[in-house]
């Protein structure tokens, strides 16, 4: 069964717009909370996936923390009601200004990605007379078997620290009055659709913990395993809520947490992807040579995932019920040949003015929109 869309609202609205089904978001949040509370785990929502204020507020009200990657995200998280101590801050290139913001707001943790970054955080914390809580992000060299552009835990990737430098960085934290070491951070990639990479991650973390303990380092209070759980882009109505139970159970079963150690997750896509759709209007239908194009008013500026990762979002003609199926390339108005949402899509005959939904667009959709071609940013209905 397809999602129920408020089509009459869309008819009156300017398009393109992002539509968020807030009830589905709430059900997803309830499901995650039920699932993690069984094990006492924590979730920091990776707000890079979607920082729409209505979405952020709903997620903060549900009691999640926030995983941020910029000063802008820290500020937006605080505005949306996330408590500073529940905010973690990752990223390979934190600027001095962003670190200062994190220190002054008193965020929960800096996920540190290089030895030089640790030096700078220490120096700035000393100047500010603050203690920075830090976790070290380790690159576990695990293949997440996902798109090349969104794998993050391989040695060739820029993210995280090589394990060889971690003991001396923990020592540095122990010796500094401005640094407080809280734990280890990992994140292996995004849109991961099998649990095997996570099982490997658990084994890797178990080995790392054993090694560090043998070197006398026993003060790891928290383990953060990042996010990455994938969603079903092919059939969003079959799986409107991702398979959270086996995912959390895997960590419960395979990760050897020490007494009192906390486990954190940083899920983004699996929280918000399915509640969002990009709604666009057909401007023209054009007969090409051996092709028929449905030219819509949304483009790669509104949803860049197809152009950037060859991703496919399910396409539905919301206003074509009862019409015969015909084949279309669904394309946007941008002056780029990659501005294509779908090739050879079978859709109920498309007419000018029809409303089209690009499904599963709640994650890395609106937040990645740009003004290329000096277009306006897409609108939004969240209800």
Ligand X SMILES: N[C@@H](CCCC[NH3+])C(=O)O
> Considering only residues 307-366, where is the footprint of ligand X by CB under 6 A?
309, 364
Does the annotation place 305 within a ligand binding site? yes
Least distance to ligand X, CB of residue 88, Å: 14
Binds 70: which of ligand PLP, ligand X, none (CB < 5-8 Å by kind): none
Query: How many angstroms separate the CA atoms of 257 and 223, rounded?
Result: 8
> Considering only residues 284-303, where is the footprint of ligand PLP by CB under 6 A?
none
Query: How many angstroms separate the CA atoms of 163 and 153, rounded?
Result: 12
Q: Are 17 and 279 in contact (CB under 8 A)?
A: yes
Does the annotation place 267 within a ligand binding site? yes
CB atoms within 10 A of CB 75: 14
Q: How many residues bind ligand PLP (CB under 6 A)?
A: 16
Binds 305: which of ligand PLP, ligand X, none (CB < 5-8 Å by kind): ligand X
Q: Token pair of 213, please?
A: 């303990």
Closest CA to 313 of 282, 259, 356: 356
Largest CA distance in the chain: 72
Closer Cβ to ligand PLP, 15 or 190, answer by number: 190
Beta bridge partners of 284: 295
Binds 267: which of ligand PLP, ligand X, none (CB < 5-8 Å by kind): ligand PLP
Q: What are phi and psi of 30, to 5 degrees?
A: -60, -40
Distant-in-sequence, close-in-space partners of 70: CB < 8 Å, separation ≥ 6: 91, 98
Task: Decide if residue 187 touches ligand PLP (CB under 6 A).
Answer: yes
- Name the 3-class secondary structure at 255: coil
Least distance to ligand X, CB of residue 46, Å: 7
Does the annotation place 268 within a ligand binding site? yes
Q: What are phi and psi of 66, to 5 degrees?
A: -125, 135
Is 380 among the residues known to form the active site? no
Does the annotation place 309 within a ligand binding site? yes
Least distance to ligand PLP, CB of residue 340, Å: 24
Task: Decide if residue 307 touches ligand PLP (CB under 6 A).
Answer: no
Alpha-carbon radius of gyration of the chain: 22
- Positive or negative torsion for Cα 315, 321, 322, 328: negative
Query: How many angstroms separate the CA atoms of 108 and 121, rounded?
Result: 14
Binds 197: which of ligand X, ligand PLP, none (CB < 5-8 Å by kind): none
Least distance to ligand X, CB of residue 152, Å: 6
Query: How many angstroms separate the CA atoms of 225 and 222, rounded?
Result: 10
- Name the 3-class secondary structure at 20: strand
Task: Decide if residue 122 touches ligand PLP (CB under 6 A).
Answer: no
Q: 114, 191, 224, 301: which one contacts ligand X (CB under 6 A)?
A: 191
> Considering only residues 65-84, where is the footprint of ligand PLP by CB under 6 A?
67
Annotated binding site: 228, 266-269, 305, 309, 336, 364
Active-site residue list: 335
* Residues making contact with ligand PLP (CB under 6 A): 46, 49, 67, 90, 152, 187, 190, 226-229, 266-270
* Residues making contact with ligand X (CB under 6 A): 48, 150, 152, 190-191, 305, 309, 364
């Amino acid at each position: 069964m397809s999602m129920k869309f408020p089509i009459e609202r869309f008819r009156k609205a300017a398009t393109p717009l992002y539509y968020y089904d807030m009830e589905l978001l709430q059900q997803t949040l309830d499901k995650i909370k039920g699932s993690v509370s069984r094990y006492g785990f924590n979730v920091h929502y990776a707000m890079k996936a979607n920082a729409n204020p209505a979405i952020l507020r709903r997620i903060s009200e549900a009691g999640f923390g926030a995983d941020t990657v910029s000063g802008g995200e820290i500020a937006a998280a605080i505005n949306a009601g996330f408590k500073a101590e529940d905010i973690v801050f990752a990223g390979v290139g934190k600027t001095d200004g962003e670190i200062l913001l994190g220190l002054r707001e008193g965020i929960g943790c800096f996920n540190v990605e290089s030895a030089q970054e640790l030096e700078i955080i220490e120096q700035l914390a000393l100047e500010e007379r603050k203690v920075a809580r830090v976790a070290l992000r380790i690159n576990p060299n695990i293949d997440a078997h996902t798109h090349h552009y969104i794998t993050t835990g391989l040695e060739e990737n820029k993210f995280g620290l090589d394990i060889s430098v971690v003991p001396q960085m923990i020592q540095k934290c122990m010796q500094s009055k401005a640094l407080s070491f809280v734990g280890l951070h990992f994140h292996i990639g995004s849109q991961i659709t099998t649990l095997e990479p996570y099982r490997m991650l658990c084994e890797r973390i178990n080995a790392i913990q054993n090694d560090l303990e043998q070197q006398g380092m026993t003060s790891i209070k928290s383990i953060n395993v990042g996010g990455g759980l994938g969603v079903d882009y092919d059939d969003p109505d079959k799986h409107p809520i991702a398979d959270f139970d086996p995912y959390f159970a895997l960590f419960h079963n395979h990760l050897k947490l020490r007494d009192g150690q906390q486990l954190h997750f940083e899920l983004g896509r699996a929280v918000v992807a399915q509640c969002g759709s990009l709604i666009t209007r057909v401007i023209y239908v054009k007969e090409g040579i051996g092709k028929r194009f449905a030219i819509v008013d949304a483009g790669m500026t509104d949803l860049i995932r197809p152009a950037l990762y060859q991703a496919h979002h399910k396409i539905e003609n919301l206003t074509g019920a009862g019409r015969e199926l015909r084949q279309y390339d669904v394309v946007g108005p941008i002056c780029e040949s990659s501005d294509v949402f779908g090739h050879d899509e079978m859709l109920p005959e498309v007419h000018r003015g029809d409303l089209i939904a690009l499904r599963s667009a709640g994650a890395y959709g609106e937040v990645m929109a740009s003004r290329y071609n000096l277009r306006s940013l897409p609108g939004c209905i969240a209800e």
